[in-house]
Amino acid sequence: MKRLIVVFGWVVLLLSSCAGDEVFVIDGQVLNAQSIQTVALYEGERKLDSVFIDEQGRFKFQRPASHPRLLTLEAGQNRYHLILQNGDRVTFHADLAKPVDTYEVMGSPLSDKIKQFAITFAEKERAQSELEASFADQAAGLDDTALMTLRQRFLQRYREQMADYTEAAVRFADEHDDLAGFYAMTTLDTELAEAELIDYADRIAGRWSDNARVRQFLEEMARLKLLAIGQPAPDFESLTPNNQPVNLSDFRGKYTLVDFWASWCVPCRQENPNIVEQYHRFKDEGFTVLGVSLDGNPGAWMRAVEADGLEWTQVSDLQQWGSEVVGLYRIQAIPTSYLLDPDGIIIAKNLRGPDLAAFLEKIFE
């Protein structure tokens, strides 16, 4: 009987070991959790699981991952990135009273690589928060003209910060040709790092195809590539205020600024005087503008056109965010603009203020 119990014990242990290789395990602890009662595990925006933490802040996850999965552990406002697969036994420790990049993770080499980059990411986030706070302090009480000047100055500083961060992310991805490098690239701003992201997507095409996050990224980059600098701008047809059809292809032969705006959009209205100025400076040199309004009220649209002195062609289907053109150009905010060359090729995006003037000067002077 004793021998039977021993044998049975070995069988249970063997089965437990096999089962263990079919899951990953996170043994974690978060200190200074305050009122936080649970931690959650996400893949992208999809919540996979959540568990309660005990009085000492301890918790445990056990889930399957047949291939390496890029996951996010969320505790309160803090988010920690991990790459886990079956067989991983991870020890995680974080103090919520300390900066988010001071967490500890052991038992997952790829997760440890992500932590190395998390320090760079946290520095970028802190610098960005400081920049936003400084802008808010200096913007108080300024008139519209002074505010626009201040915004341009801070935008330039932001671009410089993001250029350094983009370089750091690309360098990390080059040094880590794995999902840790992939994670670093996914933190980049698609508007400011478009070329780098498209190049990276081309590089990893066909790899990690069993990873949902990678598939989603590649699909997004394929859509982004259709509207990238150097690509032909998708043609579309819309209507003038007099219900006359206009095609984007009608503007071939000129440098054309396709300006997405609306009468109710304050930043758009603030930018209009600059576009008017550049239009009058360069219209005889081969430059024009096509205004695409996201208005739903034709009266408000026409009053804004007249008040702002917008002399160029204006079109709208008055469907606002439901417009087919909005979907075609993936407009998520306005103002948004595309500058096209005479062949209809996209040569710049979202040029505003002095940036638009400087770009046109290079073309025509």
pLDDT digits (tens, 9 = 90+) for 301-345: 999 999 999 999 999 999 999 999 999 999 989 999 999 999 999
Instruction: Tell me the average pLDDT of the chain.
Output: 89
Distance CA 295, CA 321 (A): 9
Find, among 258, 268, 259, 249, the residue nearest to 340 by Cα.
258
The whole-number pLDDT of residue 356 equals 95
pTM: 0.74
- For the chain, residues classed under CATH 3.40.30.10 are 237-364
**Distance between CA atoms of residues 318 and 96, nearest Å:** 49
Question: In sequence order, what are the residues at sequence separation of 6 or more whose Cβ sits closer than 8 angstroms to the Cβ of residue 215?
Answer: 209
> Residues for the chain: how many in total?
365
Q: Tell the CATH topology of 237-364.
A: Glutaredoxin (3.40.30)
Q: How does residue 102 score in pLDDT terms, banded at 50, 70 and 90?
A: confident
Residues of the chain with CATH 2.60.40.1120: 17-107
pLDDT computed for residue 20 by the predictor: 53
The highest-level CATH class for domain 17-107 is: mainly beta
| Side-chain-facing half-sphere of 168: CA atoms under 13 Å | 17
Instruction: Please state, in angstroms and rounded to a whole number, the distance separating the CA atoms of residues 193 and 164.
Output: 11
Q: Could you read off the pLDDT of 219-250 as tens digits, one per residue? A: 999 999 999 999 999 999 999 999 999 999 99
